[in-house]
């Protein structure tokens, strides 16, 4: 009997750990932390922007088409006093909204954006000494203002880090400008003036950066250069020497304006297609 009991001791010693393995653990389960969703730029967005526009402008008073015309400016053709050119700067506030769509392929983001904004980007200048030998000096003034601007642009960007987008952009630009000029000769009956408002179409190029603050909201900073037909003519068929009205002598003048500039702006976008939360899978 003693031998039988002693022979069972090794079996109990071996079976002990096996029984212990089946006992429930007294340790606390680890806290599960759901993985963050992978961010992407794909989706529709809308937003607002505000900024500052500026650029050099030029207004050029053209020669009358008839060298033999008898008005005050007629003798200037032989002296080289005309045409007269004004160089000045346009500047002012611009702001509005945008809508667009992005599609991300790996680290490359393709996009299309349309925007429109009101503007008060203007400037003016005057030349008080149109020097025509033998006559009293005349004067010439001009003003040009961009009243609103819209663009439809493609965007090509890449993501150096997950939530940062760096992009180039370019496409169609269209806008409404108002232009005015006057030319007069003191102590003379000659006076010319004209104004015109028109919508012009051109092109735009630029670049920007955009940072996703969270899955829905992002902020951006952008620079664009635009050119709306680049130059616009104004013709004044009614300018005349009043002393010669009875004889029907009319001196047309034409004025050419440059029509482009630069814009820096910041914007805020809301994206509708934010990344979905990652699926939670627990393993016990």
- Check residue 237 and give its pLDDT: 47
30 in any annotated domain: no
Domain containing residue 229: 39-271
279 in any annotated domain: no
pLDDT tens per residue across all 284 residues of the chain: 555 445 555 544 555 555 455 555 566 666 655 556 678 899 999 999 999 999 888 777 665 444 444 444 455 444 445 566 778 889 999 999 999 999 999 999 999 999 999 999 999 888 766 554 444 456 778 888 999 999 999 999 999 998 999 999 999 999 998 888 777 665 555 566 777 788 889 999 999 999 999 999 999 999 999 998 766 665 554 444 434 334 444 455 566 777 889 999 999 999 997 665 444 444 44
Q: What CATH number does the domain containing 163 carry? A: 2.40.160.20
Residues 6+ apart with CB under 8 A from 53: 90, 91, 92, 93, 94, 119, 121, 146, 149, 261, 262, 263
Number of domains in the chain: 1
Joined together, the tokens standing for residue 197 give: 């408002």
93 in any annotated domain: yes
3-class DSSP state of 272? coil
5 in any annotated domain: no
Give the predicted TM-score (pTM) of the model.
0.71
- Check residue 79 and give its pLDDT: 46
154 in any annotated domain: yes
249 in any annotated domain: yes
104 in any annotated domain: yes
- Check residue 242 and give its pLDDT: 39
């Amino acid at each position: 009997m003693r031998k039988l009991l002693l022979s069972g001791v090794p079996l109990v010693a071996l079976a002990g750990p096996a029984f212990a393995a089946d006992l429930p653990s007294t340790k606390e389960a680890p806290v599960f932390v759901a993985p963050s969703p992978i961010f992407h730029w794909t989706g529709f967005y809308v937003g607002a922007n505000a900024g500052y526009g500026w650029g050099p402008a030029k207004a050029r008073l053209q020669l009358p088409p008839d060298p033999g015309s008898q008005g005050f400016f007629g003798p200037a053709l032989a002296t080289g006093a005309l045409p007269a050119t004004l160089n000045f700067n346009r500047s002012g506030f611009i702001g509005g909204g945008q809508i667009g769509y992005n599609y991300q392929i790996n680290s490359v983001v393709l996009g299309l954006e349309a925007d429109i904004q009101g503007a008060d980007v203007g400037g003016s200048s005057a030349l008080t000494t149109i020097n025509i030998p033998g006559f009293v000096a005349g004067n010439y003034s001009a003003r040009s203002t961009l009243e609103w601007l819209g663009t439809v642009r493609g965007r090509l960007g890449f993501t150096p880090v997950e939530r940062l987008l760096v992009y180039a952009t370019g496409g169609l630009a269209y806008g409404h400008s108002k232009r005015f000029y006057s030319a007069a000769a003191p102590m003379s009956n000659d006076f010319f003036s004209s104004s015109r408002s028109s919508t012009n179409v051109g092109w735009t190029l630029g670049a920007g950066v955009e940072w996703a603050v969270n899955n829905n909201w992002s902020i951006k900073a952008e620079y664009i250069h635009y050119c709306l037909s680049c130059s616009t003519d104004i013709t004044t068929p009614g300018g005349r020497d009043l002393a010669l009205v009875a004889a029907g002598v009319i001196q047309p003048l034409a004025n050419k304006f440059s029509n482009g500039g630069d814009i820096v702006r910041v914007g805020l976008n809301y994206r509708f297609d934010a990344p979905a939360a990652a699926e939670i899978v627990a393993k016990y």
